[in-house]
Amino acid sequence: MVGFGDGGGVCRAAAVRRMCPPADIPHSDAALLADCEVETFRAGGPGGQHQNKTDSAVRLRHRPTGLTVTCRAQRSQYLNKKDALRRLRLKLTKYYAPPAPPRRATRPSRGAVERRLTAKKGRAVVKRLRRPPAGDD
């Protein structure tokens, strides 16, 4: 269980995180970067010597929420950082979004049930007629 609190039974970690309004997401890149830990590392993979010798990959960790985003698609650290900020904004928007309303169980209507059973009986008759006749051998 994620949040033990004071020994109470129910974990309220999910409810607490949803209470923060989405206005906490800064609009400027500089303000969002100030809330993040920025880590650069070698991207690896295809791309030759340039990608193998430069720290162009970027990992952003949002300190208030703990969300992490990594980007290593471009050869440029600047472009990777911009892309990581865009991805982080999307993640934060989903994180702060209100939860979906709970699903309500529904039952098929009486007419729908009757139509389905009538169709089943019709298919059974068709299949029964396909059988070879029962002969006395």
Q: From first to last of its 137 residues, what are the pLDDT tens digits of the chain? A: 344 444 444 444 444 444 555 557 888 899 999 999 999 998 877 777 777 788 989 999 999 999 999 999 988 899 999 999 999 999 999 999 999 999 998 999 999 999 999 999 999 999 999 999 887 65
- Is the pTM above the cut of 0.75? no
Spatial separation of the C-alpha atoms in residues 32 and 88, rounded to whole Å: 9
Please tell me the predicted confidence (pLDDT) of residue 135: 75
Domains parsed from the chain with CATH numbers: 19-96 (3.30.160.20)
Strands 57-62, 36-41: parallel, antiparallel or unpaired by DSSP?
A: antiparallel
Spatial separation of the C-alpha atoms in residues 91 and 84, rounded to whole Å: 10
